[in-house]
Structure 1
Amino acid sequence: MDPSLLREREAFKKKAFATPVVENRKASSKSSSATTSTANASTASSKSSKRPKKESTPQTTRDLYAFGRQSGASSHNFAVLAKIVNWMKQRYLDGDAEALTFDDLLDETNQLDLTPKQKNWLLIEALPNNPKIVITDDQKYAFKPLYPLRDKKSLLRLLDKCDQRGMGGVALEDVQESLPNADRHVKSLADQKKIIIITRPMDKKKVLFYNDSSQDMKVDDEFQKLWRSVAVEGIDEMKIEEYLANQGITSMQDVGLKKTAHVQKRKKAATKRKANFKKLNDHMQDILEDYTDK
């Protein structure tokens, strides 16, 4: 073979090995695929971060109520419960306090299309744990008011009890939720001056107090004028006591019970013990001998 051809052949091989076109394309394709996969992964992670996290299922009834205001299904459950409680409350205020079965509650509130899961939630958690619902012994449901009031006499007894125990008054809104025709009864008692209605300045809510007529006392008008004419602002008890002393009036003192000191009994003298010793041993006078003086 011609040597020049061999040299050209060797030069071609060297040039081909120096510039591996096929290998470079494969590497670039791999790098591009790796870059694409990295971009896809970052996009997926960003999408996953933007997606809202799945809310955990609440366990307690209070969590169910809070969860019901956020999610769609639980909010529907909360609306079902609220409809039942509000209907029972209005029914109680209308004068009907008879307990009803669970099926009667759903029938009266037009909620017969509930799912078995919703019914189970009402029976097991919502109704038994609701403070406005009471379950009777025969598994019926009734409205539970804050105060067991039936008429204005029971309201007057409640206010009298609060007054005697120093508990103050009762909010009008609590009475309106517990007593049928509460406004009419409150107006009747107020007209008879058996109760006093006070409006709190902080929240403008009305509070009912018992008006104890036995504590009423007629005070002479002249004495009232004298009482109001004396200004006692900025005067402490010491100055008042000093003024009374100067006028020859004795003020009442805080006199407590005196504690008597416990007096311990003295021990008997040794001579008495000695005499008793001799007295108890009279039958041995001839045998025993006294060595005290010696």
Structure 2
Amino acid sequence: MSSHLERLQASFNNGVTSASSKIPSKRTTLAPLPDAPSPAPSNTSSTSKTEKETTKRKREPQQTVVFSQPAVTGYGNEAYTQVTYVIDFLKKKDEPKTFQEILMYLSQVHVEETKKKLIATILKRHDRVKWSPDPQLKVQTWDSGFFRHQPIINVRSKKDLITYLQIKPDAQGVAVKDLKDGWPDCEDAIDELEDEHKILVTRTKKDSHARMVWVNDPSLVHKVDSEFQIMWHKTELPSVDELVRKLMEAGQKPASEDPSKRVKAAPKPKEKKKKAPRKGGKFTNSHMAHLLIDYDKQRR
């Protein structure tokens, strides 16, 4: 037995010795990779700071441009503003003005010629400005002629107002505010024409200012003698009910009845909807009838 164990131990020792002889004694070291980064120094240099700032800037969100408001890129908007001032100027003066006088009012005498031409073109095409050529010139230039305010209704006197109302194709009234656009002090003339029965006027309740005007025919107005007026006021008129009764007795149908005496029916109160009783259906769970008994009626 002992000899068998000794043989096994001896074979194991021989195997270990042969395996160790095959292992090389010197270890080979791996060469460093050429692209390996060098270790960073302990103190941060100025270059690393710059790199961090650049990366931080790249990460910041870009500001979006808002396109809802147009940018002021030209003289067009300013020219239209100048034209608004010109219309107010012509409206106050109420007389023709040359383009040179308009430029002096706007303080635009020494601006570029392109800007002046733009203002003149807008004024000639504007519906609130009337341009008339210069009669002394055979050929008109871009800055020649006269400019005058063109009102909504071209009326500036009592005669013009009567003529305008008579040639009007429809029966609609004329707003006094539209008349004031070209005739600011027209209220006195309207009062005079109303007293002469040449126009009909509606007025505001608060200040009694003229609001709308229509043409009127003075020949339809007849003067009633004062004596007849006194007799009329002394006569006692029958009541509405008596007039209706007399008309019915005469076999005539009254045109209308007194609306103030109409009895309005009282509004009917809203009836509450009653809940419909639950209709009994066919019971399919007859085996549970003893559990579905209603005991509410048996309570005291």
- TM-score between the two structures when normalised by the length of structure 2: 0.50
2:197/2:221 contact within 8 Å kept: no
* CA drift at 1:84: 0.8
Matching residue of 2:119: 122
1:77-156 residue pairs with structure 2 within 5 A?
77-92=79-94, 96=95, 98=96, 100-124=97-121, 126-138=122-134, 139-156=145-162
1:87/1:109 contact within 8 Å kept: no
* CA drift at 1:104: 2.6
Q: Give the counterpart of 1:216 among 221, 225, 243.
A: 221
**Which secondary structure state, in structure 2, belongs to the residue aligned with residue 127 of structure 1?**
helix
Question: CA separation of 1:160/1:74 partners in 2, compared to 1, >3 Å: closer, same or farther?
Answer: same
Question: CA separation of 1:122/1:73 partners in 2, compared to 1, >3 Å: closer, same or farther?
Answer: closer
* CA drift at 1:41: 5.1
* CA drift at 1:103: 2.0
Identity in percent: 18
**Which secondary structure state, in structure 2, belongs to the residue aligned with residue 112 of structure 1?**
coil
* CA drift at 1:207: 1.4
* CA drift at 1:133: 0.6
For structure 2, the 5+ residue unaligned runs are 1-23, 41-46, 135-144, 255-300
- TM-score between the two structures when normalised by the length of structure 1: 0.51
Question: CA separation of 1:160/1:83 partners in 2, compared to 1, >3 Å: closer, same or farther?
Answer: same
Task: Count residues with an aligned counterpart.
Answer: 205
Q: Which structure would you say has the larger Rg? A: 2
For structure 1, the 5+ residue unaligned runs are 58-69, 232-239, 252-294
Tell me which amino acid in the other structure corresponds to 2:60: T
Q: Give the counterpart of 2:187 among 175, 183, 186.
A: 183
How far apart, CA to CA, are the structure 2 residues paired with 1:36 and 1:226? 103
* CA drift at 1:226: 5.9
How far apart, CA to CA, are the structure 2 residues paired with 1:183 and 1:132? 23
2:172/2:214 contact within 8 Å kept: no
How far apart, CA to CA, are the structure 1 residues paired with 2:236 and 2:123? 61
2:75/2:115 contact within 8 Å kept: no
| Structure with more of its chain in helix, by fraction | 1
Matching residue of 1:43: 60
